Each structure stands twice: as structure tokens, then as C-alpha cells.
Amino acid sequence: MRILVVEDDPDLSRQLSEALKDTGYAVDVADNGEDGHFMGDTEPYDAVILDLGLPVIDGISVLQKWRADGKTFPVLILTARDQWSEKVSGFDAGADDYLTKPFHHEELLARLRALMRRAAGHTTDSIEIGGLMVDNRAARCFVDGMPIKLTSHEFRLLSYMATHKGRVISRTELVEHIYDQDFDRDSNTIEVFVGRLRRKIGTDRIETVRGLGYRLIDPDNAAAKK
Ligand code: CA
């Protein structure tokens, strides 16, 4: 999962970015409304954390522009003061949730997970598919109850596929959702990650759909259909 943080307070931005990376997300940051708007406009984020008091373009205007352009990613707004009118303007502009500063990082992470699972149509942080369990809260994975050790990139890849299980996902889409913008992106490395994941979770759990991409499947159900 890939998150955009638009926040002009350098300390808060750095803390948020570190907390999100530690949790296993790819993170991009912007420190003003103009850059933040551009990034949200051009990259397919899984969720956005948006401060309302921003230089150049304010947060409410950024959000209004995204929604007017049809951007549907979940947006959590950060409000500096406990002002009800700011929250109302935020929701009217298309925000999905809010937090008032200061806040605990744990609460932000929990709200973010809730937003992303709702957006993907799941009700819990754990996604199960044919004995494979992906726990997005703890960033862990189990096969038939046994914990599997994954690198952060492997987990991001698996988490994205599990969130969209049963759907064919192209290499480009995977690249866009597991790397931040500073990473040297190469869709060939996706094949390498998929190969490593298959060795760890079982080769028949990730189906290659020729010319289209990959699909996370329940190997028993797939066998039954053939
Ligand atoms: Ca601010």
C-alpha cells in the first residue's frame, strides 16, 4: 500500500513518514498544497493524509480539486485546532475521516487501516485466502497457521494482492502501489519479488495470467474448477 502525506510541519511530516514506513507502507511526502495536489493527481495512492493548513494552496482546496477530478482515494485530514467548522468544511470537500492535532500515531494508523479496508470492501485487517492469512495490522503473514518471514517489499506486494484477491493485477499497478516515488522503479523486479513470494507461501497461490499480470488465488478452489 502506498500513502501520500501532505504536511508542512517538517517534524510531524518526518515522524508520520517514519511511522508509516515502519508499518510497511510505501510513503511519499509533500510540504505544500501545490506539490501535494500534483502528486495526488498523478499517482494512484491507496490513502492520503492531508493537513488543512498548508502553504501555496490550502488543504480544503486541494481536496476539492481532487474530488472534482474524480479522485476516489480515501483522505484523512489533519486539523490544527479543535474547530468544528474546519471538520465540516473538510467532510464537505470530500474527506473520509479526520484527526485533530496532536494525536497518537497508533490512532492515525488504525484510522488509516480502517479507511483502506473499507475502500477495498473488507471488514477486518486480516485477509484469508485458502489457508493464507495476511494480517495488515501486524504486517505479518501465515500459511496454515505457520508464520512466514517476508521482507518489507515482499509483504507490501502480498498485502496489495490480498487486498485485491481474485482480481488480476498488472505489473505496472503493483509497481505503482508498492514503491515510493524515490525508488528506482523497474517492473522486472516485480517478477523477482513474485518468484520469492511463491517460494515462501507456495507456488500455486500466485497465478500468472499471461500478458495481464498476477492473481492471488485459493489453490484448492482453482484446482477444483479445472
Ligand atoms: Ca500546517
| pLDDT at position 31 over 50 | yes
Question: Per residue in 202-211, pLDDT tens?
Answer: 999 999 999 9
When pLDDT is averaged across residues 142-148 and rounded to a whole number, the result is 97
Q: Are residues 9 and 103 in the same domain?
A: yes
pLDDT of the residue at 220: 87
Q: Are residues 98 and 10 in the same domain?
A: yes
Q: Are residues 109 and 142 in the same domain?
A: no
pLDDT of the residue at 226: 47
User: How confident is residue 149, by pLDDT bands cut at 50, 70 and 90?
Assistant: very high
Crossing angle of helices 59-68 and 84-93, rounded to 10°: 20
Q: Are residues 15 and 112 in the same domain?
A: yes
| pLDDT at position 186 over 80 | no
Q: Are residues 80 and 163 in the same domain?
A: no
Q: Are residues 174 and 68 in the same domain?
A: no
Q: Are residues 107 and 136 in the same domain?
A: no
How many residues would you count in the chain? 226
Strand segments (E) across 7-92: 26-30, 47-51, 75-79
Q: Are residues 84 and 107 in the same domain?
A: yes
Determine the structural domain holding residue 25 and report its residue range.
Answer: 2-120
Which single residue is written with the C-alpha cell 488504525?
110
> In angstroms, what is the span from residue 133 Cα to ligand 1's centroid?
39
The CATH number of the domain holding residue 74 is 3.40.50.2300
The CATH number of the domain holding residue 132 is 1.10.10.10
pLDDT of the residue at 21: 93
Share of the chain above pLDDT 90, in %: 83
Last residue of a domain, one of 58, 87, 120: 120
Q: Are residues 178 and 107 in the same domain?
A: no
The per-residue pLDDT of the chain, averaged, comes to 93
Residue 26 forms beta bridges with which residues?
2
> In angstroms, what is the span from residue 54 Cα to ligand 1's centroid?
5
> In angstroms, what is the span from residue 78 Cα to ligand 1's centroid?
8
Q: Are residues 26 and 59 in the same domain?
A: yes
Q: Rounded to an integer, what distance in angstroms lies between the CA atom of residue 29 and that of residue 16?
A: 10
> In angstroms, what is the span from residue 210 Cα to ligand 1's centroid?
47
The set of residues, in sequence order, having a beta carbon less than 8 Å from that of 216 and lying 6+ positions away, is 129, 132, 158, 161, 162, 164, 165, 166, 205, 206, 207
Strand 126-129 vs strand 47-51: parallel, antiparallel, or unpaired? Answer: unpaired
pLDDT of the residue at 223: 56
pTM of the predicted model over 0.95? no
| pLDDT at position 68 over 60 | yes
> In angstroms, what is the span from residue 36 Cα to ligand 1's centroid?
13
3-state percent helix, strand, coil for the chain, nearest multiple of 5: 45, 20, 35
User: How confident is residue 184, by pLDDT bands cut at 50, 70 and 90?
Assistant: confident
Q: Are residues 149 and 104 in the same domain?
A: no
Residues with CB under 5 A from ligand 1 (ion): 8, 51, 53
| pLDDT at position 189 over 90 | no
Domain count, the chain: 2
Last residue of a domain, one of 95, 120, 145: 120
When pLDDT is averaged across residues 207-226 and rounded to a whole number, the result is 83
